Structure 1
Amino acid sequence: MDVGYMLDRVEPRLQTLRSDKEALAMETGETWTYGTLNEKANRYANALLDKGVQKGDRVGILMFNSLEYFAVYFAVAKIGGIAVRINFRLETEELAYILNDSGSTVLCFDSALAERLEPIKDRTSVKSFISYDRDSGITPGWAEGWDVLEKGDQTLSRRPVIEETDPVMLMYTSGTTGRPKGALWTHRNTIWFAAMQSLKWNFDGNTIGMTTGPLYHVGAMEDVALAVLLSGGTVVISKSGNFEIRRTLDVIEKKRVSDVFLFPFMIYEMLKLSDIGSCQLDSLETIYSGGDPIISWAIDRLYDLFPKIGLVQVYGLTEGTPIAVSLDPSDAKTKGYTAGKPMPFTEVKVIDDRGEPLPAGEIGEICTKGPAVVSEYWNKPEATAKTFVDGWCHTGDLGVLDAEGFLTISGRKKDMIRSGGENIYPVEVEDVLIRHDAVQDVAVIGIPDPKYIETVCAVIVTKPGRSVTEKELLEFIEGKLARYKKPRSFVFLDELPRTASGKVQKFRLREEYKHLREPQVNS
């Protein structure tokens, strides 16, 4: 079985799903039925085949949230291609790296992002640029218009044989070496992960699930959305940019959403609304949230205001099962400090530095195993061998299992920063800042933030006799890093604290400067 099965069910050869059932709905009002989504996917698939895309070829998707995003993804899946879903917040050189590393030959992109692509259009592996230009109406001269895809035939007759072990998606995650790694998802990973969620949370044709994140992220598509589609329900899609919790709540009310994924900072914004108690959320049954644990005051306030809404906290990672562990609503008040228990068909263990399992109560590295754990990083054999061992994904996160099997996240073995639902690895930012000719040494850490959980803080040591301002450093990194990776705070020191072996003691820096942007929480 392959990912295309989710849509094939409306075709005569299967006919197990009504073609007139609503599949997708943008928060702005546009909707597609399963029949329309399948027809669009087939058209796009035929057009890609006409362009020479073959099984195993990579097709980049650099688009804002839209109904068409799903059609492109399914089109690539149906012809055995690999969808490279790219973060639209990345800057020019970051985009060039991903396109070339993946070897993408076709790129479907939003025309609003053309300025970032034009400088690299002749130095990537991409042979065909296809511009989605609904909002701007402008297709750059070096790209083809979206009509190229729309003109494809609606019947897909040239479909190759696809095995469940064939790759379907390449998701780049921030890397510890300063370059992101591509986690390679198979059709098996995708179908199993969707089925695991559907089984766990009883999704069916009546489920209306809303995704609030960017579709390039597993937290927006693989989490909840694809599971709802597999179950024959309806997916409501938030538009990209300028997130407003009040607007999201309005959509939940209007579309009668039953299940929604909200990142922690979104929940905090919701609970701080002065009129939150008067919001009519009677259709909403479950809120899913991940990335960071929900602080206790928010859990208490949510249940005080909306006792009928269940809160499901989740933990996972792109390559090691995006939702590997979840906390049931019934356990939220007594075990709210934990991430919960493993999902169906998922195993979790905590190991010591020798790789041996630790008993309950002892902190070690979290490892996950199951059908949604990927088997490799794209063209990264050394990183693959280090992370994926005997079917287990070594997450790099620290945690502890209690006697009842609940997992508590204790910290991060790697110095990853979690900001607004995004992963930021300090080495990426350090690699840019150290290039400024006045900077001698730099360490990047995450510090608490009232909205985004953590933000980037750069600790700078200048060269003898040199000085540099925050403004100058921000101007220097402009265009070199995505906006969410840029430091929001700077600290200037004479030297960085280091161990005898020369390693920067970032834990000391985090402790010293954790109050720079300390959250002010109103209970």
Structure 2
Amino acid sequence: MPVNTLHQLSGQHAAERGDSPALADLDFPARHTYAQLHERAGRLAAGFAARGVGAGDRVLWLGQNSGKVLEGILACAVLGAIFCPVNWRQSNRELEFVIDDLQPSLTLWQEEEIGDTLRQLRQFDAQADNWVLCDGPDSGYEALLADTAPPAPSPTAPDTPVLLLYTAAFDGRPNGALLSHRAVLAQSRNYSAVRKLDAGARYLNVGPLFHVATLLETMATFYCGGLNVFIRRAAPEAICNAIEQERCNGAFLVPATIDEVVAYAAQHDVDLHSLVALPGREEWNTLVTVDDSDWGRTPYGYGQTETFGYASYSALAANATGRMGRAAPGVEICMLDHSGAPLAPGETGEIAVRGETVMNGYWRRDELNRARRAGDWHRCNDIGRIETDGSLSFIGPKAQMIRSGQENIYPAEVEACLREHEAVAEAAVIGIPDERWDQSVKALVVLAEGADCEAQALIDHCRQRIASYKKPKQVEFVASLPRLGAGFDYAALNREYGGGGYPGAGNDAD
């Protein structure tokens, strides 16, 4: 029987590998086999339905990493509903915007570490039936599973959305990419094949599950019948303990986290050799098993949230001209000119993709959806080139983007925040090289006439309104900002004020 939805895949796993471990949540303790996970997802779907969730409705996850995210996705798959894990590190104003935009039928929230912040949200209502606490002694999560009779699965087409992931705010506000069963399954198939994952995969969910770079491997591990191990956040002791205890052989770790793990391991007796990881500095390589596969030699590719990860894989064309490799199976890539016409190989244009892994569109963004479509092509808002050998080169974003650690920061959002300050007449934001985080944010500010302001006051202003990682690390006051047409001349700003380190190498999924 063909598998066209996540619920069908869950049922197949329950039938074929029911006793195999599927989920281990180490911080919110839970362990489930594939049979148990399938059964729990069905009962959770019944609990969701009792709270008013139906086909097309949204379920919001306001919490850190947990096995409940995977359960929630599978429960939504039963109902034809849509699961949305959101960035819990955002400011209250950002979270309030997402809640207003998403209009969830049900919100699952976490007390530990972030409960005090969530209580300050305008929409928070712990007493409401559609706000369910999921941890601690007052948790109502298990009560959602009280119904022993799962509902009949909703008749769900493969192109029905099952996930909604908010992208970084490249136009000044985040946008929710709607990802279908087909997209999730196709990317899981492709990623598993390129990485050579099988039922022996033991993936440590340590990167944030609201980010596609983590979640795509979560779903690929589920796809191939492996074990997903969850810890709620990237703390070096927890990472090392989880790898040792569960013999994890995969994890998505950013360089700064790797440095923290290396430092922790230098002071403690740990065995991390089960972890198969990309090579790094010598201290890291001696701790882990270095990946010598095709992926290990030529990792990553080109991708973004809107394609649920990789549209191309470098490992599919290791010796090609273009560093981003070739299009994934079921995906086509071309370059478009400004009018939306395809360009010939060797010509530079906007990267466009179509195929199985491409999103259905952005949630409640009709105008943006029209702007990002050219026929059946999705315009990626990035500049690239198809080389004469058919491989892909990534040149850079159409709009300048800053990459700090694993977070994408779009200048438009930070600039808009700075302009809200009464002392600011104009503000431009650039990325400057940062030894630890690759880039950090620098703001160039023209003060309003007669105004006086300290740099720290503007940094604090941003910290209170947007996620802390987006705030400027440096503020420089300038007399004027160079312009290019209607916008700022960012190339000139970068040259004059030390900008650089932009993610032009494109070696990571957005």
TM-score (norm 2): 0.86
Distance 1:22 1:274, change over 3 A: closer
What are the within-5 Å matches in structure 2 for residues 166-185 of structure 1?
166-185=160-179
Amino acid at match of 2:116: E
Correspondence 1:225 to 2:227: no
1:133 aligned to which of 132, 135, 145:
135
Listed as ranges, the gaps of 5+ residues in structure 2 are: 503-510
1:2, distance to aligned residue in structure 2 (A): 1.5
Q: Deviations over 1:360-383 (max 9, x none)?
A: 444322222220101311121111
1:111 touches 1:138 (CA, 8 Å); kept in 2?
Answer: no
After TM superposition, give the deviation of residue 147 of structure 1 in Å: 4.0
Counterpart position of 2:21: 22
- Deviations 1:24-49 (CA, angstroms, capped at 9, x unpaired): 22355753222232233222211111
Matched residue SS, 2:97: helix
Match of 1:325 in 2: 312
Shift of 1:67: 1.5
- Report the CA distance shift for 1:429/1:389 in structure 2 as closer, same or farther (over 3 A): same
1:186 pairs, out of 156, 180, 189, with: 180
> Are 2:275 and 2:289, in contact at CA under 8 Å, matched by a contact in 1?
no
Pair 1:8 & 2:11 matched? yes
Matched, 1:201 2:201: no
Change (3 A) 1:328 1:122: closer
Q: Please state how far the C-alpha of 1:478 moved relative to its aligned partner.
A: 3.6
For 1:330 and 1:165, the matched residues in 2 are separated by 29
Alignment correspondent of 1:86: 86
Task: Give the match's secondary structure for 1:220.
Answer: helix
- Match for residue 505 of structure 2? none
* Structure 2 letter corresponding to 1:216: F
Q: Secondary structure at the match of 2:388?
A: coil
Query: Percent of aligned pairs with the same residue?
Result: 28
Would you say 1:149 and 2:144 are equivalent positions?
yes
Alignment check: 8 A CA contact 2:273 2:287 kept: no
Change (3 A) 1:268 1:344: farther
Partner Cα separation in structure 2 for residue 30 and residue 228 of structure 1? 18
Secondary structure of 2:408's match?
strand
Conserved? CA contact 1:376–1:388, under 8 Å: no
Structure 1 unaligned spans of 5+:
140-144, 288-293, 519-523
Say which of 488, 498, 503 aligns to 1:514. 498
Say which SS state the counterpart of residue 84 (structure 2) adopts.
strand
Name the residue aligned to 2:364: 379
Query: Do residues 283 (structure 1) and 266 (structure 2) align?
Result: no
**C-alpha distance in 2, partners of 1:465/1:386?**
41
Flag the 1:336–1:116 CA change in 2: closer, same or farther, 3 A: farther
Paired with 2:183 and 2:191, the residues of 1 have a C-alpha distance of: 12
Please give the residue correspondences for 1:95-494 in structure 2 after superposition, counting only pairs within 5 Å. 95-112=95-112, 113-122=114-123, 128-134=130-136, 137=137, 145-151=140-146, 153-221=147-215, 223-241=216-234, 243-244=235-236, 248=239, 251-266=242-257, 282-285=273-276, 287=278, 308-310=291-293, 311=296, 312-328=299-315, 331=318, 338-494=323-479
Q: CA separation in 1, counterparts of 2:101 and 2:13? A: 36
Cα distance in 1 for residues equivalent to 2:11 and 2:77:
12
Distance in 2 separating the partners of 1:2 and 1:170: 16
Change (3 A) 1:250 1:405: farther
Measure, in 2, the Cα distance between the counterparts of 1:83 and 1:307. 35
Per-residue displacement from partner, 1:105-144 (whole Å, max 9, x unpaired)?
21001124333333445489x861111223xx467xxxxx
Distance of aligned partners of 1:80 and 1:502 in 2 relative to their CA distance in 1, 3 Å threshold: closer
Partners of 1:75 and 1:426 in 2: CA distance: 37
1:39, 1:154 within 8 Å by CA — same for their partners in 2?
no
Count of aligned pairs: 490
- Cα distance change on mapping 1:492 and 1:330 into 2, 3 Å: same
**Cα separation, partners in 2 of 1:381 and 1:329, compared to 1, 3 Å:** closer
Deviations 1:301-346 (A, max 9, x none): 9699966544222321011341112222993xx6798222222222
Deviations 1:74-118 (A, max 9, x none): 112211111122111112221122112122121001124333333
SS of alignment partner, residue 158 of structure 1: coil
Structure 1's 382 and 234: CA in aligned 2 closer, same or farther, altered over 3 A?
Answer: same
Question: Cα–Cα, structure 1 residues 398 and 253, in superposed 2: closer, same or farther, change >3 Å?
Answer: farther
The alpha-carbon distance between structure 1 residues 111 and 268, as it changes in their structure 2 partners (threshold 3 A), is closer
Distance 2:55 2:101 in 1: 18
How many Å apart are 1:53 and its aligned residue?
Answer: 1.3
